[in-house]
Each structure stands twice: as structure tokens, then as C-alpha cells.
Chains A and B, each alone.
Chain A
Amino acid sequence: MTATLPASVPGATRRADRREASLLRRLLTQPSSALALVSVCLLVAVALGAPLITWLTGTSPTAFHSEAVDPALGGLPRGAAGGITSAHWLGVEPGSGRDILARVAYGARVSLLISVLATAISVALGTALGLAAGFFGGWTDAVIGRVMDLLMSFPSLIFMIALISAAPGVNRQLLLVVVLGFFGWPYVGRLVRGQATVLARGEFVAAARVLGASRRALLVREVLPGLTGPVLVVATMSIPNYVATEAGLSFLGIGVQPPTPSWGQMIAAAVPWYAADPMYFLIPGAFLFITVLAFNVLGDAIRDALDPRSRR
């Protein structure tokens, strides 16, 4: 989703490729960002390979395993540490006996899918509107600026909840993507606007204008490429935000609906059991924490790599 140069400019594409290669090398040379990158790749692998995992372990995220829980103990998993056995690698849910690994893996799919799509929406909207505000200035800037201020002063969590709970029949995951993306774009827009204002005053833009470049060409060829770096950083930083918000909404019971598993929903389901079976909330919680942390570290590292000034 990050804005790259149009493919019709061969020289520029090669330049962008080179820059991406050097960015990757920088990320891999630092232990913290390399670890974060590996974690993110592993998470994506778990999410994509969820069906493979359940095939290997012979379970499914929705299958009940009554033999794995002990009715005499109120439905607590049989065995130590939340029922970790060779059949259930991360244990089972108390009560229903559903396999936690299968649910966590399928939960990763939901979580990553929603946050990546929401990021795509907020980055697309934020870049387009921020670019327009910064480049054209004047009335365009005033109107877009006010809308951004307004959206940022909304109590967005409560508002999202109100919006979602007022639309019962709608596909919940789609609604989450749209709502998260919609409330997220002003943060991208504000950054892009600032950057675009600076770039639009640049000498290279003036030169292109003198050479007779159309407005469209100025926007797309001169200003937009300069935004790649900041937009990449803000996109990486918004993914963990959306992962956390989606999980929070699901924790409150208005995010992803059962039977589709989600990490926040699993933690909410674990609340009544937290004293007797702490593994039940620790496992989805740990996945959530590691995901958010890995993306945060990665976002920091990309920012430092692209902007040496911020590396202190």
C-alpha cells in the first residue's frame, strides 16, 4: 500500500528497489529489529499456515474435546499447564476443551487480516487527503485540516463501539476494518500533510512546474515519492495499534464474533477462569503482546533507518 513510483519510470523503480534492499540489510544487522522481523514473519507464517497446523495436530479451532477436560474439576483441562499434551500443544480451553493452538493460529489470521486491511484504508485515505491538503493549501487544507481535528477529538473507542453495536446485521470483520481505517486516517493524514507542505515548496517541484509539468504530474512524480519513507513508518506503526484495538473490541464482546476465534475474545473468555487456569489467558495474551511489540520495534527501526536524525 505504500506509495512507490509509477512503474513507467524505470530508473526510479530501480532506485527504489536499491533503497528497499539497503533498508532490509539495516534492519537485519541490528539484533532487536532482526528479532522483530523474524517474529513478524513467524506470525504471518502461523496465520497463513493455520490450516496446516490443525492438519498436523488433527484438531480444529471449533472442535470440542470433552476427553481433554475433567468434569469433576468443573471442566478444568486434564494435565499440567492448562492441559498441554502431545495432542494439544498449547493446551485446551477449560469447559469446552477446544484446542488453544488451533484457536490462536486462526485468531492470528483474523487479527493480522483486519489490521493490515485497516492500515491499507487509513494509509490510502490519509495519503490522498494529506497530500491534497499539503499540496493545494488554502481552502482544501482548511477543510481537510478541520475534519482531521474533528475526527481526532472524537472519543474514538466509544464511538467505534456505538457504531458497531448499532449495525447488527453487517459483516463484523468488514465493519471493523472500515471503522478502524476510518478513525485512523487522520493520524496518517496529519503526517503526510506536514511532509507534503515542505516538499511542495521544494526547488525540484518549482523546476518541474517551470518545465510545464501538469499538476497531476507534480503530485504523483515529484511530491508522492518523497512521502514513501514517512508513510512506510506510519503504516508499520499503525498495524500494532489496530491489532490492539481489534483485540480490545473483541475483548469487550463487540469485535470478532464467535465461532470465529480472535485473541481478544479468547482473553475475555478466560476471565472467569483466570485464577484456576492462568494458561488460558496467558497464551493468547502472549501472542498479542509479542505481535504488538514486534511491530512497534520494527516501526522504530524503520524510522531510525530512514531518518538518521532520529537515531540517537
Chain B
Amino acid sequence: MILYALRRLAVAVVILLVICGATFAIFYLMPADPAQGACGKACSPERIAQIRTTLGLNHPVLIQFRDYLAGIVAGRSYGTGAQAVTCPIPCLGFSFQTNEPVWGLLTERLPVSVSIAVGAAALWLAVGVTAGVVSALRRGSVWDRAAMVAALGGVSLPVYFTALVLQYLLVVKAGVLPYPQAVALTDDPVGWAESMLMPWITLAMLYAGIYARITRGEMLESLGQNFVRTARAKGLPERTVLRRHALRPALMPIVTIFGMDLGALLGGALITESAFGLPGVGKLAADAINSADQPVILGVTLFAAGFVVLANVAVDLVYAALDPRVRAVG
């Protein structure tokens, strides 16, 4: 098991390195000049040359990439002598716009993204799995048909459209919720929940549909299996049969998808955050893109990829713990 975990982690590190390399290549081989970006529009050639030296842009690309990676694990400093700026571990550079360290920006924005992701995940998991199970148990009923139509509708709803409809209905027309804004959970729990409710519903509508469809399919699959028939034949109460024998195997694929979805959202729900104007990691990315703030875009990409890759590892480890066959194959 430990060997499997180590091997899985090694693969994850390689994937992160490749992602890092690919992102780095995009930015540093493309026509846009980072020094120009760092300096702004009205900028003298001398100043640009100076920035090129400070950022190390005069070095070959591979050296720059090495320095970037070294900065992440060991920190680095830009420039020399009295003007040197140190960038502590993990160094992802400084924003061209605000001159703040990128890592600081990311960690500052993370609580908002986590609030959105975790709340939405709890909501869609509860609604989606319940709806899927009930649909499977009452296959072909009015409820089943209605739930599956709703699920397909939810899957097809674009997040930014749902966001606008909800804001129009709940904030403008009904006036029951305030405009979404970043409220820290520790400052004002009620205000936090109120401002997060619409993003949660928006994301949950999308994901609950997907989860309901998968749960229903898996549940029907496992209800048809021999072990369920055996459990019933043993005379176990129907509740136990459903919960212990039918639902459990049906939930295995859900665990996989849930891990990946949550991982992807923790690294920033880009469109949702932009649509509600909430200052999470995703909004940071969107803003950085609009202002061509390359170090921030690079940082967010890596940060988000880190969550996705870690979630993958976590899912694999959970799977290996539950099912020894995976360890042998992987």
C-alpha cells in the first residue's frame, strides 16, 4: 500500500512538472513580451532592458524554467545588491499589476473558492445521490421521469446563465437575498451563508443532475446483481439490502467523480466566481487574463492543476484502500 502510494505520488509530481513546463512554454515562447507587461505601456527601452535583467528574461528559456522551479521549492530573489527583492518559498513570482507575491494572492483568495466549492459539493451530493437512488427504486414512475428530465435540464444549464436568472429572481424581484459578496465565515456566519447560497445553488444545479444520472444508472446495475438477490434471499430487511448491498457498490464511481470535481472547483470556479463577482481564485485568474498579468495566470494554472492532480491521487488511494485489486494492477 505504501509503495503504491509513493508510486502514485511520483506520477503526480511528473504530471505537475509537465503541466508547469507546458504553461511556462506557452507564456515565454509566445510573442507577448513579459518585460513590457511588467512595465506597462509608457516605458523607456532602458527600463525594459533593466526589467529583463531583473526578471532573468535575458537567460535562455531552460535556465528561466529551472529558476522558476527552484523558486517554488527554495525561494529566489530578483535583482542584485540593494535593489534585490526576495521572494519566499513557494515563489511564483510577483504580479505585474499589483507587485504582490503571487502565492500571497492565491492563499488570500483561497477561502472564498473553498467556501463555494465545499458548500456546493455538499448540496449537490445530497440532492443528486438522493434523487438518483429514489429514481432507481421507482424506475419508470412519474417521479423517476420528472427527476431525470430535471437532471438533464440541470446538466444543460450554463452556470453564468443560472447565475443571472437567480440574481434577477432572488435579489432584484423577490429581494430575499443580498448581492453576493465575500463575507468571511468567521466574521459573520449568517452573512456568509446568505452570500454563498446563490453560487451554491448555481453549481449544485449543474452537478446534481450529473450525479443523479450516474447514481441512478449504478444503482440499477447493482440492484440487478446476484449479491443483492442473495441478500434478499437470506431474508435481510429491505432497508439493509438497499443500503449495505445495493447502494455501496453503486457509490464507488461517485467517489471517483466527486474527488475530481471537488479538486477542480477548489482550484477556482472560474465562471461562477466571475458571474457573481466573488473574489476567489477563479476570479483572480479571470482578472489576470484581462490584464495580461502573466505571473498570476501561470501561478493560478499551476495552483489549480495541483488541486486536480492531488484529488486524483486521493481518489486512487481511497480506491486502493477499499479494493486491494487496484493496488496489484496499478
Q: Of all chain B residues, which has the CB nearest A157?
A: B270
Contact yes or no, B168 A288, CB < 8 A? no
Binds A, one of B25-33, B125-133, B227-235: B25-33
CB distance from A222 to the nearest CB of B (A): 28
Chain A residues contacting B289 (CB-CB under 8 Å) are 161-162, 165, 252-254
- A281 at the A/B interface (Cβ < 8 Å)? yes
- B300 at the A/B interface (Cβ < 8 Å)? yes
Contact yes or no, A312 B267, CB < 8 A? no
Chain B residues contacting A247 (CB-CB under 8 Å) are 158
Would you list which residues of chain B between 226 and 274 have a CB under 8 Å from chain A? 264, 267-268, 270-271, 274
Q: Of all chain B residues, which has the CB nearest A247?
A: B158
Contact yes or no, B32 A166, CB < 8 A? yes
- B23 at the A/B interface (Cβ < 8 Å)? yes
Chain A residues contacting B300 (CB-CB under 8 Å) are 158
Given contacts A293-B152, A312-B220, contact A153 B158 (CB under 8 A): no
Chain B residues contacting A289 (CB-CB under 8 Å) are 156-158, 161
CB distance from B102 to the nearest CB of A (A): 14
CB distance from B172 to the nearest CB of A (A): 5
Contact yes or no, A267 B267, CB < 8 A? no
Contact yes or no, A155 B153, CB < 8 A? no
Contact yes or no, B156 A168, CB < 8 A? no
Of A163, A244, A282, A310, which contacts B158 at CB under 8 A? A244
Given contacts A165-B297, A248-B159, contact A274 B164 (CB under 8 A): yes
Most chain B CB within 10 A, of A158, A268, A296, is at A158
In the bound complex, how far is the Cα of B161 from the Cα of A288, in angstroms?
Answer: 9
In the bound complex, how far is the Cα of B268 from the Cα of A252, in angstroms?
Answer: 14
In the bound complex, how far is the Cα of B271 from the Cα of A252, in angstroms?
Answer: 7
Contact yes or no, B167 A274, CB < 8 A? yes
Interface residues on A, range: 35 or more
Given contacts A150-B15, A167-B30, A285-B165, contact A251 B160 (CB under 8 A): yes
- A154 at the A/B interface (Cβ < 8 Å)? yes
Given contacts A150-B15, A154-B308, A292-B156, contact A169 B31 (CB under 8 A): yes
Number of residue pairs spanning A and B whose beta carbons lie under 8 angstroms apart: 121
Contact yes or no, B158 A285, CB < 8 A? yes
Would you list which residues of chain A between 121 and 174 have a CB under 8 Å from chain B? 149-150, 153-155, 157-159, 161-163, 165-169
- B91 at the A/B interface (Cβ < 8 Å)? no
CB distance from A187 to the nearest CB of B (A): 13
In the bound complex, how far is the Cα of B135 from the Cα of A287, in angstroms?
Answer: 29
Most chain A CB within 10 A, of B26, B161, B285, B290, is at B161
In the bound complex, how far is the Cα of B307 from the Cα of A247, in angstroms?
Answer: 25
Chain B residues contacting A253 (CB-CB under 8 Å) are 289-290
Chain A residues contacting B212 (CB-CB under 8 Å) are none
Chain B residues contacting A300 (CB-CB under 8 Å) are 152
Chain A residues contacting B31 (CB-CB under 8 Å) are 167-169
Interface residues on B, range: 35 or more
CB distance from B299 to the nearest CB of A (A): 11
Contact yes or no, B164 A270, CB < 8 A? yes
Would you list which residues of chain A between 63 and 122 have a CB under 8 Å from chain B? none
Q: Of all chain B residues, which has the CB nearest A243?
A: B158
- A240 at the A/B interface (Cβ < 8 Å)? yes
Chain B residues contacting A285 (CB-CB under 8 Å) are 158, 161, 164-165
Would you list which residues of chain B between 296 and 319 have a CB under 8 Å from chain A? 297-298, 300-301, 304-305, 307-309, 312
Contact yes or no, B156 A159, CB < 8 A? no
Question: What is A's interface to B at a CB cutoff of 8 Å?
Answer: 149-150, 153-155, 157-159, 161-163, 165-169, 240, 244, 247-248, 251-254, 264, 267-268, 270-271, 274-275, 278, 281-282, 285, 288-289, 292-293, 296-297, 300, 310, 312
Q: Could you list 12 A-B pairs, sorted by A, with CB under 8 Å?
A: A154-B308, A155-B267, A155-B307, A157-B271, A159-B19, A159-B23, A162-B289, A165-B297, A248-B160, A268-B160, A289-B161, A300-B152
Question: What is B's interface to A at a CB cutoff of 8 Å?
Answer: 15, 18-19, 22-23, 26-27, 30-32, 139, 152-153, 155-161, 164-165, 167-168, 172, 217, 220, 264, 267-268, 270-271, 274-275, 285-286, 289-290, 292, 297-298, 300-301, 304-305, 307-309, 312
Additional A-B contacts beyond A165-B292, A274-B164, A297-B152 (11; CB < 8 A): A150-B15, A159-B305, A161-B285, A162-B27, A162-B298, A166-B27, A248-B159, A252-B274, A267-B164, A293-B153, A312-B139
- By Cβ-Cβ distance, the 7 closest A-B pairs, closest first, are A293-B156, A285-B161, A155-B304, A292-B156, A166-B30, A275-B172, A166-B26
